[in-house]
Structure 1
């Protein structure tokens, strides 16, 4: 028996591994070194600025230096926690259960008019009525929110990074040089970073569609079962065959025991909400790496 090929384990940041999994893509490891990759991303003016920062004389240290202290550590922690809290607590990511009850065949039957004839055949609730009931089922809403989070992260982390560079420039010549190098790298890579991270909402859009299409297939299968059961019930009623009806009922209970435990209509959307949160938090980790590097340098001085 042939087996499906196993995807190779991908190393690297959690953001890359998560997007590869959600995109169902088999991403190969890059064979290029970091220096080779950077050479493709840096323009010639950026390369000249970086070379000057690395090979030129050490920058003069600004006077009136104040030592690195707890205040900077606390500010970095506060900014990161605030961004994490805004992602974790956003109302758009609340599960369907927290948003309220979604109609199901059971409570739809409970809400049926009470003046219906006692012996009238009960019309089955169509499974298609349970799809796309959430007002957030349009991906455009999620896309706009993701872009807003990206803007918030870029602004807050950029401000923090600038403050840490300013403090580095007052400590020692070597740290002042590091501050210059970091400023050059931020300017040189800003456009490339926006381009790469700007593609994330599109990748999430594909994941959203795959989840929704899988739910539609599930709903179509439920509708096929409902139609078959309705046809069997009508045939049994016309024949007035009690024994046959009993057999059909027994077969129905055996053939479709999963009706009562069917997934909630918005379960696919809850999966997407959780995945989008995970991607945002992984992107935050990537964006915070330069800040962590500057903090490490300040701690070492």
Structure 2
């Protein structure tokens, strides 16, 4: 996932539009670097990763020496040092979390740099997990994109909202292609699983935030809106009720010339925090063709980090696997 931290650039943009007669003084020493915490945790996984950086004048910089402490419901569960670099040129400071999280748990993470200059922390509550995916109905249908019509697999996914709450969700369509490929470096055949997360959600009123469209609308250029690339939505339109969501993807292993052993699609429905919801909505906009940083206003990303900036999110999920075959 791309990580964009543009807090200083927002300030620079403000200074540029100020008139020459009202210039604002700016001293970099008065704006020292802040510690950036970036982690989207999955309560159903025992291998979560947290990243630490420092804000910089034009981009983030790496943290050299640091530590984190993980607390669940006030109890210290982990004290961690950074993972070893993955490559010789890898300077990213990352931590592997193995703590177990349950819905309703209060998770607090404190990050410290060894020089004592920075201490940042964030706390989140693990959201309630959906009870289940009630049903997934599939059908092969023709879809037209950019003037071409091809067969896609349509998914109608039914689930029920949590009662009497403001809930935030994320849909992940994980197409997994297991294929045998020849590895020139190892001089042998290797079986690997490739993941493809692309899907089409243009017809769904919830995933399009009340602005569904068709292929003709997209081709005309009249509906140049941000696509929901990260599949986030809230329960505004189906509060306390069930809902059937409609999305499409190419379920065949197109693009793989090797021997395909299996194709399956894992539908995941995650309950996420409100901060993560707005963070991913901001990423939808920044990663969309509809956003032009030259003409659009700078995007401000939400942060729930104290003493620094960034985001700590946590999710729970339910899933269902659809076996496609070869």
Higher strand proportion: 2
Higher helix proportion: 1
- Do the two structures share a fold, i.e. TM-score over 0.5? no
TM-score normalized with structure 1 length: 0.22
TM-score normalized with structure 2 length: 0.21
Q: Which has the higher contact order (CA 8 A, sep 6+)?
A: 1
